[in-house]
Amino acid sequence: MNPTPAPDTFEDSAADDPAVHPVGPRAGAAAGTNEATTHPDAVAEPVTVPGQKSKACGEQHSPEAGRDRTGPDPLDDPDPQAAADAATVENLLRCWVRENDLPRPAGRTLRLPLGNSGTALLVPVRYWSPCGWHRFGPAVLESGPRDAPPVDAVTLASLLGREADGGGAVRGEGADLVGRVADSVRRTAGFIAARRRDPGPADGADLFLTAEQSLLLGHPTHPTPKSREGLSEAEAHRYSPELRGSFPLHWMAVDRSVLVQESAWTERGRTVTAEQIVSRLAADLRLPEGTAPLPLHPWQARELALRPAVAALLDDGLLHDLGPYGDHWFPTSSVRTVHRPGAAAMLKLSLGVRITNSRRENLRKELHRGVEVQRLLRGGLAEEWHAAHPGFDIVRDPAWIAVDDTDGAPVPGLDAVLRHNPFGPDDDAVCIAGLTAPRPWPGRSGMHSRLADLVGHLAARTGRPAGAVSAEWFLRYLDQVVRPVLWLDGQAGVALEAHQQNTLVLLDGDGWPVGGRYRDNQGYYFRESRREALEARLPGIGTHSDTFVADDVTDERFAYYLGINNVLGLIGAFGAQRLADERVLLAALRQFLGKATGLGSALPAQLLEAPTLRCKANLLTRLHGLDELVGPVDTQSVYVTIANPLRPC
């Protein structure tokens, strides 16, 4: 087996456009891995451990300080309901600690005063993470009787909502939070129970789809990661990736007088219309004369029929409900984007279910944005980017199809994005959220993540300690995934909302990172300061997509999504799962960022030098009743200031 060169010595080479060509079988597997190869920066920066602690540094004691001394992991409770409740309690506590920028407690118990309730919470600290992925034990009320049961997630949500209410700015949203927490716990319990009964993927399963179905517990710093208001139990079984659901699409026939579409999808140099692509997916579906097919999510189709604008189109004969038809499609981790192994396109469908902080219906500007980015990349930017970083690309959204009313106004919810599917069944493309997610694991009694499995196998194969393998894996990830995203910002002025669910890492046959992909037609920030240069690349850019954003807002969002959510979140997962010392990985990240300042992006210097960072506050965003798809980008969610864990102590 030929050795894989360390990432800093990879030779750049031209690559086929992944928007047209698949990734290829088992991406990077032919490169092989030399067990003795280590990244040149892996131990280049010594790590010191001062005896003092600070808000920024978090865990600053001996290596024993982060070790669990509080009994069995609550996530492994044999009762799925108890495990789900424990996971949600931890999420709520992580949110509260982050959004109030609380320091590490002096002992092994975190005391949270609850002034509006006249008491306090006492929380055992199982692990304190410098990057925010803390692990907590069962919380109790300080004023409660000694034999009182621990505070459950619904009670905790009520207490924290009351505490955050303060002067009444979020009054009324606390009850909504409590309801959604209860919904999230109930659904999570069902996911855990189902996966414990059948933890492993089927033989020969599509690797991309398997990864998309693995995110059982959801975002670790979100209060209601699995709340899906509006889905019945039967619908949840069909529509949930965590339950490996599948369903045929629901089809409408749209009169061409109200059909709208746009496409930059090309095959052999020729543009293919959205209608042509959808017609292939519809196969032998019979259509009324003068109409075109439109695929919908089944839940959305049922709900749309109740909307006056859609009912009018049906009554006027401009829209025909054809019902479910065709092969089954599988929901991916976003729930509304569906995948069918072997199909040329994935479909990003509108879905009016409220998931995390938003109702997931496509906005017309987002449809335009996907096509616009495809044209921008095809205009020469992709060639420049791939010359520097051949292993990374954007999963393109180059076409869409939708419906206008008879006055030419968009009909919300009647649309579909056609996303290129570059993944074959053997391509190991894993979103970082799924990679780090604990879940029931074949052959193990407790929760276990794919990341922990990779590190364990690599450590066994190479004979190296898990910490050294983790550092090597992390450094390769920075080179293969983070560096290309910084290049795109620095060289083109395009910042990506590269959080852990939007970012996929491509793994070789041994589990090392060899490339990456970004996906999401919502998550682009064109820097206002680079408008002229982007206009030169693509005249009229941003006219319909509303994608230009002021640089200060771009800096804030880029630092959160790529810096805090993605990279620091990954470090936190390594630490919380006992795979590596977070301080070592933070030192490695500092060294990487020092070298990355030459890429032209402002983010490396910001992360290295700023004493504080702006961070999205998911709990406060929920308590303020904000929908993150509504309104200007700078007011869609609540941001708070936190200490920067990258600042050396």
Q: What is the mean pLDDT of each run of 10 residues along the chain (649 residues)?
A: 30 31 38 43 35 40 42 94 98 97 95 95 97 97 91 96 68 80 96 95 85 95 92 93 97 98 96 97 95 97 94 97 97 96 96 83 96 97 97 98 97 97 92 96 92 97 97 98 98 98 97 97 96 97 95 97 98 98 98 96 97 95 71 71 87
This prediction has a pTM of 0.89
User: For strand 259-263 and strand 345-349, is the pairing parallel, antiparallel, or unpaired?
Assistant: unpaired
- For residue 636, the model assigns a pLDDT of 66
The 10 Å Cβ neighbour count of residue 187 is 24
CA distance linking residue 646 with residue 113, whole number of Å: 28
- For residue 164, the model assigns a pLDDT of 82
The 10 Å Cβ neighbour count of residue 52 is 8
- For residue 18, the model assigns a pLDDT of 33
CA distance linking residue 377 with residue 382, whole number of Å: 5
CA distance linking residue 567 with residue 589, whole number of Å: 9
Burial category of 24 from C-beta neighbours within 10 Å (exposed 0-12, middle 13-18, buried 19 and up):
middle
- For residue 174, the model assigns a pLDDT of 78
CA distance linking residue 268 with residue 153, whole number of Å: 55
- For residue 230, the model assigns a pLDDT of 84
- For residue 17, the model assigns a pLDDT of 35
* Cβ atoms of residues 84 and 90 within 8 Å: no
- CA 515, 449, 237, 181 dihedral sign is negative
Q: Tally the C-alpha atoms within 13 A of residue 633's C-alpha that lie toward its C-beta.
A: 23
- For residue 398, the model assigns a pLDDT of 98
CA distance linking residue 113 with residue 105, whole number of Å: 13
Of 332, 292, 317, the closest CA to residue 429 belongs to 332
Contacts of 36 (CB under 8 A, 6+ apart): 462
Angle between helices 80-99 and 153-165 (to 10 degrees): 20
User: Angle at Cα 452 formed by Cα 448 and Cα 456, nearest 5°?
Assistant: 120
CA distance linking residue 257 with residue 265, whole number of Å: 23
Contacts of 455 (CB under 8 A, 6+ apart): 466, 469, 470, 473, 579
CA distance linking residue 649 with residue 645, whole number of Å: 9
Q: One-letter amino acid identity for 205?
A: A
**Which tokens is 491 given?**
């060289």
Full set of structural domains in the chain with CATH: 74-210 (no CATH), 246-420 (no CATH), 429-609 (1.10.510.40)
